Homo-oligomer: A and B are copies of this chain.
Amino acid sequence: MRAVVMYGPGDVRVDQTERPTIAEPTDAVIRLAASCICGSDLWPYRGADDVDHQPMGHEYVGVVEEVGDDVAQVRVGDFVVGSFFSSDNTCAICRAGYQSHCVHRGPGAVPGAQAEYARIPHADGTLVATPGPPADDLVPSLLAASDVLGTGWFAAVAAEAGPGKTVAVVGDGAVGLLGVLAARQLGAERVIAMSRHADRQALARDFGATDVVEERGDAGVARIKQLTDGLGAHSTIEAVGTQESMMQAIRSTRPGGHVGYVGVSHDVVLPGRQLFYSGVHLHGGPAPVRRFLPDLIDRIWRRHIDPGKVFDLTLPLDEAAEGYRAMDERRAIKVLLTV
């Protein structure tokens, strides 16, 4: 089958590889309907993370081809959406809603989903079947639920976005933009998108942003305070993962407020004293997408939300390299790969 492999930084190729098979009795093999490129795939692409002949892709929707003997809930032929971390969904950590930290999860995200087929561990605890085969136009939104929407949603939940709240969103990538959507869906009164790109500002407003702030750093913090009676946001979503973005998020939040951070931390060190006196709540990490999948699928199925709009470039799998380039150069917000 064809699969996207990152040979090294900046070097993405589509290889012929072995089609995966059932390895554990709890596995499923799915035939992908679509896949996509994640913002986090750019870290190794840009040399910020080590990479060596890595099968790429951890966001996926598709049809179940084959299941192991112990798979009871997922059936061959089901159209499924899966979380980017596999989880048994039965351990104490999963039951508490933290499936991305399942005690039986693998060492990292589900690998190799930018491909024609993928093996999904713990199929029953990882995959959620849609009510039936989806209309074609729902596929991008269902694919988004697998990570980018689920992650933005978790960030909004971690930031305790809700009625009466003002939510600031640091980061105008796909996760941040879907954080805007999530915050509004969760009832936030006001959502401030921090962005200096017209196309992303437009999408943020389309997803429900009520305000846009172009300033960054001290000026960005000052602007957020100006918009919130000098207090700071009740809730802030951090969707980048740099020192600058984390401090921007913490400093933009009022004492007692909540920062939900989902940008994968790179070289972030938080100054303890500043954090102490900020009085904020801090919560985040790899999103337990599985917790939210049934609800997200339902909202998509009923066409209440259209998170698939974050895909502003669609390419065939064979042109994955161009997709990586487009995202790296910020010519595309997020690239969908048709399989």
Q: Chain A residues in contact with chain B, CB under 8 A?
A: 92-93, 96-98, 100-101, 103, 229-231, 241, 243, 246, 254-256, 261, 264-273, 275-286, 288
On whether the beta carbons of A279 and B272 are closer than 8 Å, the reply is no
Most B Cβ at <10 Å: residue of A246, A254, A278: A254
Instruction: Name the one of B92, B97, B268, B279 contacting A231, with C-beta atoms under 8 angstroms.
Output: B92
Contacts of A96 in B (CB 8 A): 256
On whether the beta carbons of B279 and A92 are closer than 8 Å, the reply is no
| Top 9 closest pairs, chain A to chain B, by CB | A268-B272, A101-B255, A265-B272, A98-B256, A270-B270, A282-B282, A265-B276, A279-B285, A281-B283
A261 CA to B273 CA, complexed, in Å: 11
> What would 12 more interface pairs be, CB under 8 Å, given A268-B276, A269-B270?
A92-B254, A93-B255, A93-B256, A101-B256, A265-B276, A266-B273, A268-B273, A270-B270, A277-B285, A277-B286, A279-B285, A282-B282
Contacts of A275 in B (CB 8 A): 265, 270, 282, 285
Copies of this chain present: 2
On whether the beta carbons of A100 and B279 are closer than 8 Å, the reply is yes
Q: Could you list some 17 contacts between A and B, CB below 8 A?
A: A93-B256, A96-B256, A98-B279, A100-B255, A101-B255, A241-B276, A265-B275, A266-B272, A266-B273, A268-B272, A268-B273, A269-B270, A270-B272, A279-B285, A280-B283, A281-B281, A282-B283
A106 CA to B61 CA, complexed, in Å: 55
On whether the beta carbons of B272 and A246 are closer than 8 Å, the reply is yes
Smallest CB–CB gap between A281 and chain B, Å? 4
Q: Taking CB as reference atom, which chain B residue is nearest A280?
A: B283
Instruction: Name the one of B101, B266, B267, B270 contacting A279, with C-beta atoms under 8 angstroms.
Output: B101
Q: Taking CB as reference atom, which chain B residue is nearest A272?
A: B268
A207 CA to B40 CA, complexed, in Å: 47
Smallest CB–CB gap between A324 and chain B, Å? 23
On whether the beta carbons of A276 and B261 are closer than 8 Å, the reply is yes
